[in-house]
Structure 1
Amino acid sequence: MKQLKIVKKAALSTALLFGLLAPQAAVFGETSPQPENPSNRGIHVQLLGVNDFHGQIDNYRTVNGKQVGGAEYLAAYIKKYKKQNKNTLTVSAGDTVGASSPTSALLQDEPTIRIFNKIGFDVSTIGNHEFDEGVPEMKRLIYGGNHPATGNFEGADFPYVCANAIDQKNGKPILPPFFIKKVNGMPIGFIGVVTQETKKTVMPTMLKGVEITDEVQAINKYAKLLKAHGVKSIVVLAHNPASSNPDGTNPQGDAVNIANNADDEVDVIFAGHNHAYANTTVDNKLIVQGYSYGTAFTDVDLEIDPKTKDIVKKSGQVITTFHDGIKPDQEVKAMVDKYKEEVAPKINKQIGEAKEAITGTPDASGESALGNFIADAQRVAMGSDFAFMNPGGIRADLNAGTITWGNLFSIQPFNNTLTKMTLTGAQIKAVLEQQFIDNNKKILQVSGLKVTWDQNAPVGQKMIKLTDSAGNDIAPDKEYTVTVNSFLASGGDGFTKFTEGKNQIAGPVDLDALVKYIQDKNAPISAPPTDRIDVQ
């Protein structure tokens, strides 16, 4: 009955069902009736897209010296653009939640879903971060349900679709693979897919029983089905990376491969995952992506031939959500303020002071001061010889001045536990070589170790010198103790060598270790030097 809930909650006026109660259900919806369009004129439809919002409901950022972002400003922009065309649908390309602001995360990301309900989203796909707390919690946010920490939650007012996240038990998608919305009688099909990188970026326990299959095969399977039912206007919501130059040249990323190989009836691809700019056309398919965190959104304008029901014209632009010149949406602002007040006692707790900003921005070698600081905290917490920290787990910088618990949560929001293990020197070298497999290039931040790597050496032979902090060579056959977070310990980000670690001991949550490390210093902290990784 969960799929029926989608129809009711989205207030759809019609529902044509292809086996609605099955996971592969498709749902039809109709926008409010509009004046009939003369048959010789196209129907103009506007699609407003958001990707990688990551629950940043109360966080602002700076672009060109101006403030951007924040849920109340994103809402104001979308409301403004909706007024330009009554035939407007609002879509999301995944990672709506996960790695969220504590104002959302501490309330199980329910605030973000409620705000997206208020804005009036029409359809979304999932990203890898929707899996952060496992499939049951992902479905609770979508369909509603009870959580011990927050009580009952009503769920999303809009459907989620994903064609390539497959239940291994029955071979069917865990969510409806597509959604059909009628606009002035013109059916538009939305197919969702999530990157296969999800298998590397999510802890295996959270993906238990789920297989992420080839995106193109999934798109083409359901595009064929849509075409068979007369749907000629097809949009893909792909949580897959894309980028381009501002003029559309130099298209890059997995979305380009999808465009080149997807069914020709696909007209538009909303991309995501790499938080980049994209506005380009590949194989007559428009690819767009609007950075991340609500700092921008994408505006796609379509013209549909009412006779053929096909998209005959399409164009896109990326709109930055500058605060200048627009007033925040007051309803959404009130919601954000309420949630901020609810979590304020915890996030405002003072932990320490920082003499200077400590950033996670890497230098040419891949090393960052904040990465070093976090790795040091983890090594101290577990009393190990070395520690490794994945850069993707560092989600914000540490500003100068008062350090609050909320600041530190924004930096490390994943609630990973620390794991101490034993590895040989040869295994440590093998771990570091995995930084470059499959063009991975995710440089681990280190503590207690000094690394020199050769950017011109072939994959598997890039590590040319490993020493401890005292300058002693790391012996291949000697055993060392190593601390990593539970994500890395399970082989996350492709670092499968960590799964070979012996004598594994569980430790505290990574955030708690960072809090204690700062508190124990009992003095303002400074950025550690970035002298641990060298590239030649």
Structure 2
Amino acid sequence: MEAFRRLDLAASALGNHEFDWTVDTLRARIRQAPYAILGANVRFTDGRAVPWLRADTIVRRGGLRVGVVGLATTETPTTTRAANVRGLRFDSLAPVIDAHARALRARGADVVIVVAHSGAFCDRPAPGESTPTCRGEIVDVARALHEKVDAIVSGHTHSLVNTVVNGIPIVQARSSGRALGVVDLSLEGGAPTIDVREVVADSAGPVPPAIDSVVRRAVAAVASRVNRRIADVADDMPRESDEQYALGNLLADAQRWAGRGDVAIMNNGGIRADLRHGVATYGSLFEIQPFGNTLYKITVRGRDLRGYFEKLVSGGPRVRMHTSGVLVTFDPSRPAGSRLVSLTTADGRPLDDDRLYTMVLNDFLVTGGDGVDLARRATAVTPLNIVDLDALVGYLGTLPQPVRAPSEERFRVAGASQ
């Protein structure tokens, strides 16, 4: 927040990760912010407005009144800890935008800008066309709008969005400061121009002293912990797209080891950086698992575990989860709900529908994160009071050095070459 103060921000949208450290922490950051943090579609579950959260604002620049409405994705309840958003609901975006666009113009706004933590993915333009084909929540929202909106600044999917939908320019500048989204609007009614410009480090210039001093203090405060050597890594283990990969296997193995479970599951959305070969420090491991998720051990019957894996493979050949302690073979050409061909546990035996198995999950998944909830069918749910990062640090210390990548595919498509 100290760095944000120096960037002279005017407004921002509330995102799912703003809830990662509980509502109390979010409210403390909102009180600190000298700019508007907006969540127009966030309400209490009984429909009441949330008194500590603003919906919109009017920013004045050079005589121009810019109305800004901010929104959070409707996916928020399943993309952050469920406990952290208990008592809140996240309404559909388009009706909320329409209502606030009307209200902002009635209050004198010359233009209306939407900032939405809601995203899309775009393909490259077809030959002979200049506009890409895009799909996703914010595209559907733009199509559904009836009131005039001058531009949408998108987020959440960490992707390149540079398009016009329903006459509205939409930009999303990837993630992590790798690009800048630029929209030029004509106040005389001309067509807008839009661009997403890649940030090239060697052309960015020196860091302003006001920002550099903040960063240096923060780095110095945690340097002794961040630089602590944990393990040596033999191979790069990159975070891939939607496929199975070695780093996900390693994290699932670490959690099964820490929880002494039969099976473990690691969600790909919780993996945030690559593991590079060479020395793995506490800081580099923190980059991979920064959320501080805690682990749970649940006890379930084999038939319920089988049903859980059926849900995991229901989306097609790509599975956005990693597992440890079980080998899953499935056929994506079969109807959803009957795609499992075999489930084999670590001891080489087929899964027994009547046997009880222990499963290690993080608290995000235990509470229904990513829309797959197994805990309701569990015969026991036990908090382990182990943070996922601590599990990884401890597990790496037990492995032969340098650590090798566990690259075997654990979700296998039937008939595919291994």
Give the TM-score normalised by the residue count of structure 1.
Answer: 0.72
Other-structure match for 2:157: 274
Matches for 1:301-380 after TM superposition, within 5 Å: 301-305=184-188, 312-331=190-209, 332-361=211-240, 366-380=243-257
**Which of these residues, 167, 190, 193, is aligned with residue 284 of structure 1?**
167
Other-structure match for 2:11: 123
Whether the 8 Å contact between 1:243 and 1:289 is mirrored in structure 2 is no
Other-structure match for 2:66: 188
**Which of these residues, 133, 139, 153, is aligned with residue 27 of structure 2?**
139
- Which whole-Å CA distance do the structure 2 matches of 1:482 and 1:165 have between them? 34
| 1:434–1:232 CA distance, 2 compared to 1 (3 A) | farther
More off after superposition, 368-377 vs 459-468: 459-468
Whether the 8 Å contact between 2:245 and 2:409 is mirrored in structure 1 is no
Whether the 8 Å contact between 1:352 and 1:522 is mirrored in structure 2 is no
How much does 1:439 deviate? 8.6
Whether the 8 Å contact between 1:235 and 1:267 is mirrored in structure 2 is yes
Matches for 1:243-282 after TM superposition, within 5 Å: 243-244=121-122, 245=124, 247-282=130-165
Matches for 1:68-87 after TM superposition, within 5 Å: none
**Which of these residues, 332, 335, 338, is aligned with residue 461 of structure 1?**
338
Whether the 8 Å contact between 1:455 and 1:462 is mirrored in structure 2 is yes
The one-letter code matched in structure 1 to 2:156 is H
SS of the residue corresponding to residue 304 of structure 1 reads coil
Deviation sequence 1:212-266 (CA, Å, 0-9, x none): 1111121112122123334351111111112323643212111111111113311
Whether the 8 Å contact between 2:313 and 2:330 is mirrored in structure 1 is no
SS of the residue corresponding to residue 121 of structure 2 reads coil
| 1:438–1:210 CA distance, 2 compared to 1 (3 A) | farther
SS of the residue corresponding to residue 338 of structure 2 reads coil
Matches for 1:509-524 after TM superposition, within 5 Å: 509-521=387-399, 523-524=401-402
More off after superposition, 174-183 vs 505-514: 174-183
SS of the residue corresponding to residue 466 of structure 1 reads strand
Matches for 1:403-422 after TM superposition, within 5 Å: 403-422=280-299
Which residues of structure 1 form unaligned runs of 5+? 1-112, 144-154, 306-310
SS of the residue corresponding to residue 496 of structure 1 reads coil
- Which whole-Å CA distance do the structure 1 matches of 2:293 and 2:222 have between them? 21
Other-structure match for 1:500: 377
- Which whole-Å CA distance do the structure 2 matches of 1:438 and 1:224 have between them? 39
- Which whole-Å CA distance do the structure 2 matches of 1:197 and 1:372 have between them? 26
Whether the 8 Å contact between 1:434 and 1:494 is mirrored in structure 2 is no
SS of the residue corresponding to residue 265 of structure 1 reads coil
SS of the residue corresponding to residue 266 of structure 1 reads coil
| 1:203–1:325 CA distance, 2 compared to 1 (3 A) | closer
| 1:263–1:191 CA distance, 2 compared to 1 (3 A) | farther
Where has structure 1 moved over 3 Å in runs of 4 or more? 436-442
SS of the residue corresponding to residue 202 of structure 2 reads coil
How much does 1:436 deviate? 5.5
SS of the residue corresponding to residue 313 of structure 1 reads coil
How much does 1:380 deviate? 1.1
How much does 1:429 deviate? 2.0
SS of the residue corresponding to residue 195 of structure 2 reads strand
The one-letter code matched in structure 2 to 1:339 is A
- Which whole-Å CA distance do the structure 2 matches of 1:131 and 1:250 have between them? 32
| 1:398–1:220 CA distance, 2 compared to 1 (3 A) | same
Matches for 1:434-453 after TM superposition, within 5 Å: 434-435=311-312, 442-453=319-330
SS of the residue corresponding to residue 204 of structure 2 reads coil
Other-structure match for 1:472: 349
- Which whole-Å CA distance do the structure 1 matches of 2:314 and 2:333 have between them? 14
How much does 1:362 deviate? 5.5
Other-structure match for 1:161: 38
- Which whole-Å CA distance do the structure 1 matches of 2:109 and 2:9 have between them? 21
- Which whole-Å CA distance do the structure 1 matches of 2:259 and 2:59 have between them? 53
More off after superposition, 180-189 vs 526-535: 180-189
More off after superposition, 243-252 vs 482-491: 243-252
- Which whole-Å CA distance do the structure 2 matches of 1:434 and 1:389 have between them? 15
How much does 1:169 deviate? 5.7
The one-letter code matched in structure 2 to 1:347 is V
- Which whole-Å CA distance do the structure 1 matches of 2:372 and 2:48 have between them? 28
- Which whole-Å CA distance do the structure 1 matches of 2:158 and 2:226 have between them? 26
CA RMSD of aligned residues (A): 2.0
- Which whole-Å CA distance do the structure 2 matches of 1:389 and 1:263 have between them? 41
Whether the 8 Å contact between 1:237 and 1:269 is mirrored in structure 2 is yes
Other-structure match for 1:386: 263
- Which whole-Å CA distance do the structure 2 matches of 1:440 and 1:298 have between them? 34
Whether the 8 Å contact between 1:290 and 1:318 is mirrored in structure 2 is yes
Deviation sequence 1:12-55 (CA, Å, 0-9, x none): xxxxxxxxxxxxxxxxxxxxxxxxxxxxxxxxxxxxxxxxxxxx
How much does 1:441 deviate? 6.1
- Which whole-Å CA distance do the structure 2 matches of 1:312 and 1:134 have between them? 44
How much does 1:458 deviate? 2.8
Q: Could you tell me the percent identity over the aligned residues?
A: 33
SS of the residue corresponding to residue 249 of structure 1 reads coil
| 1:389–1:114 CA distance, 2 compared to 1 (3 A) | same
| 1:207–1:431 CA distance, 2 compared to 1 (3 A) | same
Other-structure match for 1:529: 407
How much does 1:493 deviate? 0.8
SS of the residue corresponding to residue 223 of structure 1 reads helix
- Which whole-Å CA distance do the structure 1 matches of 2:140 and 2:313 have between them? 22
More off after superposition, 242-251 vs 477-486: 242-251
Whether the 8 Å contact between 2:244 and 2:319 is mirrored in structure 1 is no
Matches for 1:19-168 after TM superposition, within 5 Å: 113-143=1-31, 155-168=32-45
- Which whole-Å CA distance do the structure 1 matches of 2:54 and 2:199 have between them? 31
